[in-house]
Amino acid sequence: MATRVFPTVEGGWAAESDEALVERARFDAEAFGELYERYISRIYSYLYYRTGSQADAEDLAEKVFLQALANLPRYTQRGRPFAAWLYTIAHNLLANWHRDRRRRNAMPIDDTRDLGIEAPSQENWEEASTLRQAVGELPQNRQLLVHLKYVEEMSNAEIGAIMGLSEGAVKSLLHRTLRSLRQRIAISPDER
Amino acid sequence: MRYRLMQRNETGLLQNNGSSEAAGLTALVGNLKRVFPRMTPPDVFRAELRQRLVVAASARGPEIAVIRSRQPSSSVLVGAAALSLAGVAILLWRSHSQEKRSRLAAAGS
């Protein structure tokens, strides 16, 4: 991947690509810190919506980055972005998490109310819960797709790089996913 | 617009005409963006984890990763030692055989 300019947490701009940072992180602890800053919000957000719990998202986010650090000497890029590698680690840890707990990943109501991310009205709350439940019932790869597209607002090309799909395949999968979501949910009769 | 999950015996909305399907998908995309805002980790957690990671990376040591990647594995070392021993054994056997042959030749003459 070519060198790009990335926004930093502090509001400045960093010209170092992920690949360059990964190489430097093999020798320089601070470089790994920079990689962490670049991806912690994305990984945390993904884990948060997949677990529905702030505490579990924090716990898993810590494991993702510790595992990435431990395996960095063995990581080779081979055309696969660092972000894709991180999401793979997160995905595997989530799979273990779900297996351990054997529960659905619907978001607990209290968590989101506490975080204030939802409109206060009961009507909007119910609608949001319905949508989250429908998304939570999607296959794993489609949940990741919805996350990357609508939470991270990535382009189809960026999503393709992470998921190992062509841009066209991402577009097609996205359309199929939206259609299946539409088939899963209904508009209340009094609202039609 | 209020959503609810479809029951198994209900007919999906996609049986409506094309324009209403497109409008429905557009509305769905808008609702997905609204319902799933980007979440950020708490500042304290974020700072503490970064600190832990940098400490862990420093403790690992910069040269360890390089040395580890260049060091031969233990199985390679064991294999090399075994080959060396075999080589020494062959050399000893050959020199012993040559000595024996020369002794026999000397006795024959």
pLDDT per residue as tens digits for the range A7-45: 444 444 456 888 889 989 888 889 999 999 999 999 999
CATH number for domain A14-119, candidates 3.40.50.2300, 3.40.50.720, 1.10.1740.10, 3.40.50.620: 1.10.1740.10
CA distance B93 to chain A (A): 44
Q: Between chains, do A41 and B57 touch, taking CB under 8 Å as contact?
A: no
CB atoms within 10 A of CB A29: 18
Q: Which of B24-28, B53-57, B103-107 has the highest mean pLDDT?
A: B53-57
Q: Are B27 and A127 in contact (CB under 8 A)?
A: no
* CA closest to A127 among chain B residues: B3
* CA closest to B33 among chain A residues: A150
**Contact list, A153 vs chain B (CB under 8 Å):** 33
CA distance B18 to chain A (A): 12
* CA closest to A128 among chain B residues: B35
CB atoms within 10 A of CB A147: 22
Dihedral in degrees, nearest 10, Cα atoms A189, B3, B7, B11:
60
Q: Between chains, do B46 and A40 touch, taking CB under 8 Å as contact?
A: yes
**Contact list, A54 vs chain B (CB under 8 Å):** 42
Q: Between chains, do B41 and A41 touch, taking CB under 8 Å as contact?
A: yes
The residues, ordered by sequence, that sit 6+ positions from A181 with a Cβ below 8 Å of its Cβ are A131, A134, A135, A138, B28
Cα distance between residue B52 and residue B48, in whole Å: 6
Among A118, A178, A187, the residue with its CB nearest the CB of B3 is A187
Q: Is residue A94 over pLDDT 60? A: yes
CA distance B88 to chain A (A): 36
Q: pTM for the whole thing?
A: 0.68
This model of the complex carries an ipTM of: 0.74
Domain extents in chain A: 14-119, 120-192
Query: What architecture (CATH level 2) is domain A120-192?
Result: Orthogonal Bundle (1.10)
Convert the pLDDT of each residue in A155-176 to its tens digit: 999 999 889 899 999 999 999 9
